[in-house]
Structure 1
Amino acid sequence: MPDWVRSCIYRAMTLDLAAYLKRIGYTGPVRADLETLNALHAAHVNAVPFENLDVHAGRPVTLSLEAAYEEIVGQGKGGWCYEMNAVFGWALSEIGFEVLRLGAGVRREALGDEAMGNHLALLVRLERDYLADVGFGSSQVHAIALEEGVSDHAPVRMAIARTDDGYWRLHEGGPGATFSYDFRAEPADEALLAARHEWQITDPNSIFCKTLSAKIRRGTTYYMLRGRMLETQMPGRSTQQVMDTPEELSAVLDEVFGLEEPELEALWPKICARHKQLFPHAGGRL
């Protein structure tokens, strides 16, 4: 494997690839080709929820592959971009894929270069380069060729475009969609990733500190939880549901995402206050 792959993070690790494949429910061929990459990508986002429960609750979160693996595979929990893509990238490299960690900037278009490093994505090199990202809220289902264009991830569309200053920009929602992130096809600045990770787990202005979030795929059904609000997107339609009690929210976390939040009662006032900020016109059930 090329030195530029191993130098990123995936040195000789003693983690169990078979256990990871079991965690995501993948039983297909294990080959370094596009078909396998897409199958693994889809299996991960349909099995492992994107979630920030530990960050939101103020529990310690460590930026390391081993810690992410233990959380996702050992404990059967979910994770956010720094964890999800760390584990996914490691698994791909173990299979034989050439993997490059990318430092990206969510909403760089609005926030400027200060956003860089607030997201971890992956570049996978096959006959061409592909963007792989199981940690962008589970919205991307399969690898995306690194060329300008639109791809279908029903019920979501993704678009990749070049920016005037030489970055690639991924738009979630199709061409020109405001929710996006920027990146260059070059090795991540690991020190910058670490600094942005620390900010996002400690600063009260961090969206991950402010809003309890969980997202997961079930085929073409996409579940997105923000505090008390659960939105379910399907091709051509969507529904919303507001949880009125900690018990209702606990049931949704368990039944939809396979998650448990042990401090939900203590977090409930914070969750309710944030709900009023995000959804000022939503009362009880919708």
Structure 2
Amino acid sequence: MTLDLAAYLKRIGHTGPVRADLETLNALHAAHINAVPFENLDVHAGRPVTLSLEAAYEEIVTRGKGGWCYEMNAVFGWALSEIGFDVVRLGAGVRRASMGDEALGNHLALLVRLEREYLADVGFGSSQVSAIPLEEGVTDHAPIRMALARADDGYWRLFEGGPGASFSYDFRPEPADEALLAARHEWQITDPNSIFCKTLSAKIRRGTTYYILRGRMLETQMPGRSTQQVMDTPEELSGVLDEIFGLEEPELEALWPKICARHKQLFPHASGRL
């Protein structure tokens, strides 16, 4: 199949110039996460998911759907390379701080080399808005802060939520072990203990408003405040998927019992609309 850079730029709504510079990198990064939802609908429904750039492009650009890290960063990295950026695929480990090296490869991120090195990641739940310099410090991605720090063993650790936050991933600034990425990808789409198999998820930005869907629960984060809403019927959930994320789940009725059971595990004290 033909991968068309112009079609990708149209998909994310970027109409400005494209050059291999920091301004373009940040503009594309923000455009992508505001246009393409992070989502795991195919994995959650048990539909085939292929680890390839062509399949990710077909999903995100041709069909206008979303994707998860292996898809989002594959397409974003390809587009950056087409423009002329020096891009390195990184095999990262989400929750390596608690899970150890078993987590490595469960996330794909990107390193972009300009006059200095930057972490780019449109596939970490749409939480990162712009490229982060590869140096220790805190960056603002309102309504979220990110903190980048060196771990004790040669890895870097990105914290979602600021220094010491519980949700993080580790990486080394070197080319990914592609075999390990493939193995972790296979585990996450097939093992019933995988969070992506367990929980229907979708996330997207609208400027500084951040929408996070986990099963029946929609959280809307804004600077200084957040709201929660529980969907009581498949029709309500379908409406949220369509109106906020631009997504369709054709098997939602069949998945509803599984979604409700998982909701009780995740939110044991939440019932009905909040």
For residues 23 and 210 of structure 2, what CA distance do their matches in structure 1 show? 22
Structure 2 residue 246 is the aligned partner of structure 1 residue 229: no
Which residue in 2 is equivalent to 1:23? 11
Q: Secondary structure at the match of 2:149?
A: strand
For residues 25 and 239 of structure 1, what CA distance do their matches in structure 2 show? 28
Identity of aligned residues (%): 91
String of CA shifts for 1:68-97, please: whole Å, max 9, x gaps: 000000000000000000000000000000
For residues 220 and 62 of structure 1, what CA distance do their matches in structure 2 show? 32
String of CA shifts for 1:79-127, please: whole Å, max 9, x gaps: 0000000000000000000000000000000000000000000000000
Give the one of 62, 68, 82 matched to 1:74. Answer: 62
Which residue in 2 is equivalent to 1:103? 91
1:268, CA displacement in angstroms? 0.1
Give the one of 165, 171, 185 matched to 2:153. Answer: 165
Gaps of 5+ in 1: 1-12
Which residue in 2 is equivalent to 1:42? 30
Which residue in 1 is equivalent to 2:266? 278
Q: Secondary structure at the match of 1:197?
A: helix
String of CA shifts for 1:178-225, please: whole Å, max 9, x gaps: 100000000000000000000000000000000000000000000000
Query: What stretches of structure 1 move > 6 A for 4+ residues in a row?
Result: none
For residues 273 and 70 of structure 2, what CA distance do their matches in structure 1 show? 34
For residues 264 and 2 of structure 2, what CA distance do their matches in structure 1 show? 46
1:279, CA displacement in angstroms? 0.1
For residues 53 and 254 of structure 2, what CA distance do their matches in structure 1 show? 30
For residues 28 and 226 of structure 1, what CA distance do their matches in structure 2 show? 34
Q: Secondary structure at the match of 2:228?
A: strand
String of CA shifts for 1:126-173, please: whole Å, max 9, x gaps: 000000000000000000000000000000000000001110000000
Q: Secondary structure at the match of 2:24?
A: helix
1:14, CA displacement in angstroms? 3.7
1:235, CA displacement in angstroms? 0.1
CA RMSD of aligned residues (A): 0.6
For residues 14 and 276 of structure 1, what CA distance do their matches in structure 2 show? 44
For residues 38 and 29 of structure 1, what CA distance do their matches in structure 2 show? 12
Gaps of 5+ in 2: none
For residues 45 and 6 of structure 2, what CA distance do their matches in structure 1 show? 31
For residues 29 and 103 of structure 1, what CA distance do their matches in structure 2 show? 30
For residues 108 and 137 of structure 1, what CA distance do their matches in structure 2 show? 17
For residues 152 and 4 of structure 2, what CA distance do their matches in structure 1 show? 43
1:35, CA displacement in angstroms? 0.3
For residues 164 and 14 of structure 1, what CA distance do their matches in structure 2 show? 44
For residues 27 and 254 of structure 1, what CA distance do their matches in structure 2 show? 25
Normalised by the length of structure 2, the TM-score is 1.00
For residues 80 and 124 of structure 1, what CA distance do their matches in structure 2 show? 20
1:37, CA displacement in angstroms? 0.1
Structure 2 residue 129 is the aligned partner of structure 1 residue 117: no
